């Protein structure tokens, strides 16, 4: 999609506004958006979507802060390096997390509040989900104990399961 102003460059900035109850969309290139003043950014500062979105969550977030060291480290799996990640804001593969762990951890902590993914549990019904998850885990332990012929341990696990199910 081309810019609606200059009709020459590809539109990379997409604005949606509500005006008199109607939705108005505007698709602009970076240069036209900067001239129009719709978004305050400096093209010379290597504008990127991750930096724009990150700035909404904290003024000190900036992927450009990830500076490649003297020797260029690249992911052995996909070949991405730190400058590629800083420019795109995306990792190439799951191996990148391991390869660039030391450099990415401060940014992940600043953005997400933690560098370890723990998943999401809904506020409503989340406690029931956790109880069901605990019961499933205990049932797996029970099967392992029976397979290993540890019947006393299996009986204790069975009793825990019954106790938790009664509390539900």
Taking the model in full, what pTM does it have?
0.34
The rounded percent of the chain whose pLDDT value lies above 70 is 74
Q: How confident is the model at residue 42 (pLDDT cuts 50, 70, 90)?
A: very low
CA 128 to chain CA centroid, Å, is 26
pLDDT at 48: 57
pLDDT at 23 over 60: yes
- Tokens, residue 72: 């260029």
Mean pLDDT of 34-56: 53
53 and 40 in a common domain: no
pLDDT at 83: 81
80 and 110 in a common domain: yes
136 and 102 in a common domain: no
Mean pLDDT of 10-25: 79
Contact 168, 131 (CB under 8 A): yes
pLDDT at 146: 94
Element containing residue 146 per DSSP (H, E) = helix 126-147
For residue 131, CA distances in Å to 61, 134, 144, 163 come to 37, 5, 20, 11
105 and 62 in a common domain: yes
Domain of residue 33, residue span = 1-45
108 and 90 in a common domain: yes
pLDDT at 123: 67
Q: Give the side-chain half-sphere CA count within 13 A for 70.
A: 0
54 and 73 in a common domain: yes
Q: How confident is the model at residue 128 (pLDDT cuts 50, 70, 90)?
A: confident
Q: Which residue has the higher pLDDT, 152 or 96?
A: 152
Mean pLDDT of 67-77: 67
pLDDT at 156 over 90: yes
- Tokens, residue 67: 């500076």
Q: What domain count does the chain have?
A: 3
Beta strands in 46-147 (DSSP E): none
103 and 76 in a common domain: yes
32 and 81 in a common domain: no
Mean pLDDT of 99-106: 83
Q: What is the CATH number of the domain that holds 28?
A: 3.30.60
Q: Which residue has the higher pLDDT, 63 or 141?
A: 141
96 and 56 in a common domain: yes
111 and 140 in a common domain: no
pLDDT at 99: 85
55 and 40 in a common domain: no
114 and 94 in a common domain: yes
Mean pLDDT of 119-141: 83
pLDDT at 162 over 70: yes
């Amino acid at each position: 999609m081309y810019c609606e102003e200059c009709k020459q460059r590809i539109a990379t900035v997409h604005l949606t506004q509500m005006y008199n109850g109607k939705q108005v969309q505007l698709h602009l290139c970076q240069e036209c958006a900067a001239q129009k003043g719709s978004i305050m950014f400096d093209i010379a500062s290597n504008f990127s979507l991750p930096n724009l979105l990150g700035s909404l969550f904290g003024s000190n977030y900036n992927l450009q802060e990830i500076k490649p060291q003297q020797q260029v480290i690249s992911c052995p799996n996909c070949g991405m390096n730190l400058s590629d990640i800083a420019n795109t804001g995306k990792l190439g593969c799951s191996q990148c997390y391991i390869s660039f762990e030391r450099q990415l951890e401060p940014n992940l902590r600043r953005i997400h509040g933690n560098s370890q993914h723990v998943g999401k549990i809904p506020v409503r019904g989340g406690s029931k989900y956790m109880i069901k998850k605990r019961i499933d885990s205990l049932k797996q332990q029970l099967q392992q104990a029976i397979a290993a012929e540890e019947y006393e341990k299996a009986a204790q696990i069975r009793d825990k399961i019954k106790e938790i199910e009664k509390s539900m």
